[in-house]
Chain A
Amino acid sequence: MGNFPDIRTQIGDYVDQFVSFLDTSLEGFFDFIFFISSRTINGIADFLMWMPWWLFIILIVLMGWYFKSVVSGVLYGLFIFLIGTFGLWEDMMTTISIIITAVIICLIIGIPLGVWMAFSKGFSTVMRPLLDAMQTMPSFVYLIPAIFFFGLGNVSAIFATLIYALPPVIRLTELAIRGVDKEVIESAQSFGSSNWQMLKKVQLPQALPTIMAGVNQTTMMALAMVVIASMVGASGLGEQVLVAINRIDIALGFEAGISIVFLAIIIDRITNGVAGKFQKHGGATE
């Protein structure tokens, strides 16, 4: 018979021990992260909820108008209004705050990592398989350590979202920095720029359009995670989808689902529009 011999490796156990070790030894660190993230999410959510509903819709219309066209702006406003009529206004705001927080953290972590990868071949070689793993590992798997570190709730959701949504910012930042025209780099060098001046005044601004494309992707991936993230206790639209599944409630499932689609469209178009504005005189991606 072709049975595999009875050899057992204990990698899973080691990972388990490692995670426990991290949890106990870095408890303060995780508490700190927890504190910061939950404060950010709550702050953004409170602000969005404090805002009168019509003001929020007007803002969406204006943004749509500025970054796309009048028609798009009105359409986006209509989408938001519809979500409100589903009775999902608060859930939408929670989802938006989770996404915004996740994206902000992604940028704070991702851009420096991407820059580092662009400058260090060694670091880049180490990071690449890691990024591949982050993107291909089934998301449910890292929900488990997330709960371990942060318990059930929005922060775990953010953690899981980060792992999934971080790679595009990192990759595109690296790509963008590496892609800056060689002669432009040399001309900056020839004026005696320090490395820091070079990065700040030339490489990052030149790379910005591409980095913005990464931001767009990251945002979309964060949005794609909302349902899965609800399994570790994230509230918001994703939670409603889960509830609908449990109750086999087609109506709620559809409403929550289409709300996520609406949000996706709006966020995609607006971040794309922002990227487009940066593109105008930017260098790297002509």
Chain B
Amino acid sequence: MTAQIRVENVSKIFGPKPKSVIPMIKEGMSKEGILNKTNHTVGVYNASFEVEKGEVFVIMGLSGSGKSTLIRCFNLLNKPTDGSIYLDGEDIVAFNKNELKKIRQEKIAMVFQHFGLFSHRTILANVEYGLEIRNVSKEERREIAMNNIETVGLKGYEDKYPDELSGGMQQRVGLARALANDPDILLMDEPFSALDPLIRREMQLELLDIQERLQKTIIFITHDVNEAFKLGDRVAVMKNGQVEQVGTPEEIITSPANHYISDFIKDIDRSKVFQAEHIMTRPNALVSLKDGLNVAVKEMKENGISSVFVVNRSRQVEGIVTIDDAIQGIKEKQRLSDVLRHDITVVNQEEYINDLIPKALESQFPLAVVNGENKLIGFILRVHVLSGLVSEEINKSEAYYV
């Protein structure tokens, strides 16, 4: 993957003489210290990170932590007081007015918390706005706008005005308007915060769906941890204008950088963050079909387990054999394939614990975890599913043999 955006030591100071504060930041003075001494507010404090092409990068943090200030630096609604932001290798902070206009028109679009729709324009005219600004011909922009209105599921509403639509629908218009410009990067500042929970969930799924199809780079802001972890490929946690930690949701949950972050993620719904691969155990014992019953019994005895998964030559699961069946089979001179049980449950490594719960409850055997090529990579016990939900330190849970 390549970095599409590189943020280097970006600071944004509010006040009469913002530049004068930069040396103090370089000396490491705190945000409060600066406020007390100079009466300047530090919006963003020395932020550095990269955003990769095609990823959903979530910035989360409490109210006032500087999320909006930071995201607005990406399209220079806020000009950083110091630092650089490289977009495809070019430092946009140094851009002049025309260059700036160009990237705003072509590369970056934004979706706003309170939608920011033009109330005097119809839905169609709202979605057309960005194209109109670029002098796209009437027919062409109409066609593009209609396509995008359809993408967000608002077909038939194009002649209505924003005040005739519900909040959820208005934000769809906001999204369609941003998408109509076909930007590489989508900035979304708490786009779903103004919506009620049900609509919100629907919009989240829809965003993921659209993202799957269009593969934009999305920078998404939220103060809701669950939303952050649900949508984010990677998440940056902000506090007091500083970026405290950047990582995948799993990384942040399993090794929070500090107390602030562990507090923050305390009430996260873990079952929606952790996937099968995070809680599975890698098998110590694996039996191949050609190995036969004796090997199976030996493996089980050595590892002290009561059943073992049987795979074929390319490591795909064939079934499971229990110790009782195996001993019985040896007595009756059967082959491994005769006593093999096929009523096992196979799950993909990327399935969320949330979805595993019912499967674990139904299955009488451990769940077999496979990767994208259907190869067995681990197994999950019912206990694992439950411990995955409560355990703070999931990686340290003892390997558990079947």
List of A residues within 8 angstroms of B104 by Cβ: 189-192
Q: Which residues of B contact A (CB under 8 A)?
A: 75, 77, 100-106, 108-110, 112-121, 129-130, 132-134, 161-163, 174, 177, 181, 187
List of A residues within 8 angstroms of B108 by Cβ: 190
Query: Closest residue of chain A to B72, judged by CB?
Result: A186
Taking A191-B129, A192-B133 as contacts, is the C-beta distance between A283 and B120 under 8 angstroms?
Answer: yes
SS of A interface (majority):
helix
Tell me if A194 and B109 are in contact (CB < 8 A): no
Task: Report the separation of the CA atoms of residues A181 and B113 in the bound assembly, to the nearest whole angstrom.
Answer: 13
List of B residues within 8 angstroms of A202 by Cβ: 118
SS of B interface (majority):
mixed
Tell me if B118 and A197 are in contact (CB < 8 A): no
Tell me if B132 and A192 are in contact (CB < 8 A): no
From the candidates B112, B116, B120, name the one contacting A205 in the complex (CB within 8 A). Answer: B120
Query: Closest residue of chain A to B187, judged by CB?
Result: A190
Tell me if B101 and A187 are in contact (CB < 8 A): no
Q: Which residues A178-221 have CB closer than 8 A to chain B?
A: 181, 183-184, 186-194, 197, 201-202, 205-206, 208
Q: Which residues of A contact B (CB under 8 A)?
A: 181, 183-184, 186-194, 197, 201-202, 205-206, 208, 281-283
5 contacts between A and B (CB under 8 A): A183-B116, A190-B77, A191-B104, A194-B133, A283-B120
List of A residues within 8 angstroms of B161 by Cβ: 281
Task: Report the separation of the CA atoms of residues A282 and B129 in the bound assembly, to the nearest whole angstrom.
Answer: 17
List of B residues within 8 angstroms of A190 by Cβ: 75, 77, 104, 108-110, 187
B349 to chain A, nearest CB (A): 39
Task: Report the separation of the CA atoms of residues A160 and B108 in the bound assembly, to the nearest whole angstrom.
Answer: 52
Tell me if B116 and A187 are in contact (CB < 8 A): yes
List of A residues within 8 angstroms of B129 by Cβ: 188, 191, 201
List of B residues within 8 angstroms of A205 by Cβ: 118, 120-121
Query: Closest residue of chain A to B100, judged by CB?
Result: A192
Complex A-B, nearest 8 residue pairs according to Cβ-Cβ distance, in ascending order: A187-B116, A192-B104, A192-B105, A283-B119, A183-B116, A190-B110, A191-B130, A192-B101
List of A residues within 8 angstroms of B114 by Cβ: 183
A106 to chain B, nearest CB (A): 23
Query: Closest residue of chain B to A207, judged by CB?
Result: B120
Tell me if B116 and A184 are in contact (CB < 8 A): yes
List of A residues within 8 angstroms of B121 by Cβ: 205
B204 to chain A, nearest CB (A): 21
Tell me if A281 and B133 are in contact (CB < 8 A): no
Query: Closest residue of chain B to A280, judged by CB?
Result: B161
Task: Report the separation of the CA atoms of residues A142 and B100 in the bound assembly, to the nearest whole angstrom.
Answer: 50
Task: Report the separation of the CA atoms of residues A188 and B104 in the bound assembly, to the nearest whole angstrom.
Answer: 10
List of B residues within 8 angstroms of A283 by Cβ: 118-120
Query: Closest residue of chain A to B105, judged by CB?
Result: A192
- Since A187-B174, A189-B104 are in contact, a sample of 10 more A-B pairs with Cβ atoms closer than 8 Å, ordered by chain A residue number, is A184-B119, A190-B110, A191-B104, A192-B106, A192-B134, A201-B129, A201-B133, A205-B120, A281-B161, A283-B118
List of B residues within 8 angstroms of A191 by Cβ: 104-105, 109, 129-130, 133, 181
List of A residues within 8 angstroms of B130 by Cβ: 191-192
List of B residues within 8 angstroms of A188 by Cβ: 118, 129
Query: Closest residue of chain B to A193, judged by CB?
Result: B133
Tell me if A186 and B116 are in contact (CB < 8 A): yes
Query: Closest residue of chain B to A186, judged by CB?
Result: B77
List of A residues within 8 angstroms of B134 by Cβ: 192
From the candidates B102, B116, B119, name the one contacting A192 in the complex (CB within 8 A). Answer: B102
Tell me if A206 and B112 are in contact (CB < 8 A): no
Task: Report the separation of the CA atoms of residues A187 and B112 in the bound assembly, to the nearest whole angstrom.
Answer: 7
Query: Closest residue of chain A to B122, judged by CB?
Result: A281
A171 to chain B, nearest CB (A): 22
Taking A191-B109, A192-B102 as contacts, is the C-beta distance between A206 and B120 under 8 angstroms?
Answer: yes
List of A residues within 8 angstroms of B119 by Cβ: 184, 206, 281-283
Tell me if A184 and B133 are in contact (CB < 8 A): no
List of A residues within 8 angstroms of B118 by Cβ: 184, 187-188, 201-202, 205-206, 283
A192 to chain B, nearest CB (A): 3
Task: Report the separation of the CA atoms of residues A191 and B104 in the bound assembly, to the nearest whole angstrom.
Answer: 5
Tell me if A281 and B120 are in contact (CB < 8 A): yes
List of A residues within 8 angstroms of B75 by Cβ: 190
A178 to chain B, nearest CB (A): 17
Task: Report the separation of the CA atoms of residues A208 and B108 in the bound assembly, to the nearest whole angstrom.
Answer: 30
